[in-house]
């Protein structure tokens, strides 16, 4: 027999209790009279006893008090539905989360309360930030490449005239001028190569990253004297398709950074494994770490904290990974070390 459900028979409490959105019922002064399971999860609180009769404002940063008061007033006094608003919330453990809130009147025993519906948008915010960071990176890269092109031509002309000058006249400064000019041209060439890796057309081939990683490490043998190396290369039968030289250069840059981050002794770990249709590669070091405010600068051309660094290594890494449809993330703790986590699609 077909089951017919009349809306008046539905126990709405059950629906609300397990809703993915956090739902609160609050009084005008902000006292919380009800909250569902999602709300406890959002606030990282285990028991609803810890939240009932508490004040809504104790979970809101002070910047949002005035606007929330005004909105609650509209809901309860004018019985309006207030539109979605992005704001922040303080969880039980003190952490700030990004949320989106709307509110509507809720009638109970002749009284008007407000039902507040909250959505956790932390993940969305993070994705948006990643996207804008990436866009910023791309546009800075484009500007840098444009300038490099413009500057390279006149410098090449100067180099030509300098050579002519050297043939007709001797001056002790001329050789110095030439070698400084060479350095400038090499930097520009490097920048053009890393920010526009397609310039040197390379064909796409299947790449056995495990094998490449192992042979790359040979190049660093001398530098690995005080550094313990741990390799955990699994699922080597999974291959990616891409430009081999770009990847070699990218992993070279990552390993070089890891070694340079270790001041006396330390450890570098390289992992390779397959999970959820992605190849994961992690390059971790126990080096100096990267301050939180500098992490967002990584990959920006010429960002370097090293006296001899050009700041192009990670630009090359980021462009190579992104051009191959991959992702890269960085986790770092000052004084403890850094992990670069790369995900690449298997083709």
Ligand X SMILES: Nc1ncnc2c1ncn2[C@@H]1O[C@H](COP(=O)(O)OP(=O)(O)OP(=O)(O)O)[C@@H](O)[C@H]1O
Contact footprint for Mg ion (CB under 5 A):
257, 313
Pairing mode, strands 337-345 and 327-333: antiparallel
Of 253, 286, 319, 343, the one binding ligand X (CB under 6 A) is 253
Q: Find which of Mg ion, ligand X, none residue 285 binds, CB within 5 to 8 Å per kind.
A: ligand X
DSSP 56: G
Per-position DSSP letters for 164-206, written without gaps between them: HHHHH---HHHHHHHHHHHHHHHHHHHHHHHH-GGGS----EE
320 lies in the binding site for ligand X (CB under 6 A): no
290 near ligand X, rule: CB under 6 A: yes
For Mg ion, the closer CB: 197 or 313? 313
| Interacting residue with ligand X among 75, 272, 285, 328 (CB under 6 A) | 285
For residue 180, report the phi and psi dihedrals to the nearest 5 degrees: -65, -40
Q: Closest residue (Cβ) to Mg ion?
A: 313
Helix (H/G/I), strand (E/B), else coil: 136: helix
Q: Which stretch binds ligand X (CB under 6 A): 18-26, 98-106, 215-223, 253-261?
A: 253-261
Alpha-carbon 122 to chain mean position: 13
C-alpha–C-alpha distance, residues 144 and 49, integer Å: 57
19 counts as binding ligand X under rule CB under 6 A: no
Closer residue to Mg ion, CB minimum distance, 22 or 332: 332
* Region of residue 166 (left: phi > 0; alpha: psi -120 to 50; beta: else): alpha
Q: For 176-214, b where at least 16 C-beta lie within 10 A, e where not — what string?
A: eeeeeeeeebebbebbbbbbebeeeeeeeeebebbeebe
Enter the tokens of residue 197: 């890796």
Using CB under 6 A as the binding rule, whether residue 228 contacts ligand X is answered as no
Question: Mind giving me the DSSP string for 71-89?
Answer: HHHHHHHS-PPEEEEEEEE
Partner from ligand X, Mg ion, none binding residue 119, C-beta < 5-8 Å depending on class: none
Q: Is 311 in the site for ligand X (CB under 6 A)?
A: yes
Determine the interface stretch with ligand X among 69-77, 97-105, 125-133, 301-309 (rule: CB under 6 A): 301-309
Footprint (CB under 6 A) of ligand X, residues 53-92: none
For residues 347 and 278, what is the distance between their CA atoms, to the nearest angstrom?
Answer: 9
The distance of closest approach from Cβ of residue 19 to ligand X in the complex, given in angstroms and rounded to an integer, is 43
Question: Are the CB atoms for 280 and 287 separated by under 8 Å?
Answer: no
Spatial CA neighbour of 251 closest among 274, 226, 233: 233
187 lies in the site for ligand X, by CB under 6 A: no
Q: Count of residues binding ligand X (CB under 6 A)? A: 21
Q: Which is nearer to ligand X, 338 or 343 (CB)?
A: 338
Which stretch, 139-147, 201-209, 215-223, 255-263, contacts ligand X (CB under 6 A)?
255-263
- Is 298 an interacting residue with respect to ligand X (CB under 6 A)? yes
Which among Mg ion, ligand X, none contacts residue 31 (Cβ within 5 to 8 A by kind)? none
Contacting positions for ligand X (CB under 6 A): 253, 257-258, 261, 285, 287-288, 290, 298, 303-306, 309-315, 338
């Amino acid at each position: 027999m077909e089951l017919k459900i009349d809306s008046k028979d539905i126990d709405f409490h059950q629906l609300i209790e397990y809703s993915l959105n956090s739902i609160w019922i609050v009084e005008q002064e902000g006292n919380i009279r009800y909250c569902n399971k999602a709300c406890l999860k959002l606030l990282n609180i285990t028991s609803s006893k810890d939240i009932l009769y508490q004040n809504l404002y104790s979970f809101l940063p002070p910047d949002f008090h005035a606007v929330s008061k005004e909105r609650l007033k509209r809901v309860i006094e004018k019985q309006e539905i207030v539109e979605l608003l992005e704001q922040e919330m303080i969880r039980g453990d003190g952490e700030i989360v990004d949320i989106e809130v709307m509110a509507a009147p809720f009638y109970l025993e002749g009284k008007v309360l407000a039902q507040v519906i909250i959505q956790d948008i932390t993940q969305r915010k993070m994705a948006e930030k990643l996207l804008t960071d990436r866009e910023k990176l791309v546009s800075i890269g484009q500007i840098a490449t444009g300038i490099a092109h413009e500057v390279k031509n006149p410098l090449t002309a100067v180099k030509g005239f300098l050579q002519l000058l050297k043939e007709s006249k001797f001056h002790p400064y001329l050789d110095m001028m030439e070698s400084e000019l060479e350095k400038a041209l090499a930097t520009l060439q490097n920048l053009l190569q890393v920010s526009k890796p397609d310039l040197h057309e390379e064909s796409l081939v299947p790449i056995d990253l495990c094998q490449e990683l192992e042979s790359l490490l040979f190049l660093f043998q001398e530098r690995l004297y005080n550094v313990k190396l741990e390799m955990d290369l699994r699922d080597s039968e999974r291959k990616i398709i891409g430009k081999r030289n770009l990847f070699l250069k990218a992993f070279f840059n990552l390993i070089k950074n890891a070694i340079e981050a270790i001041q006396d002794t330390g450890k570098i770990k390289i992992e390779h494994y397959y999970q959820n249709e992605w190849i994961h590669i992690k390059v971790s070091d126990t080096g100096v770490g990267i301050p939180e405010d500098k992490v967002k600068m990584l990959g920006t051309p010429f960002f370097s904290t090293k006296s001899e660094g050009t700041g192009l290594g990670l630009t090359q890494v980021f462009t190579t990974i992104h051009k191959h449809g991959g992702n890269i993330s960085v986790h770092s703790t000052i004084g403890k070390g850094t992990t670069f986590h790369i995900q690449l699609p298997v083709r």
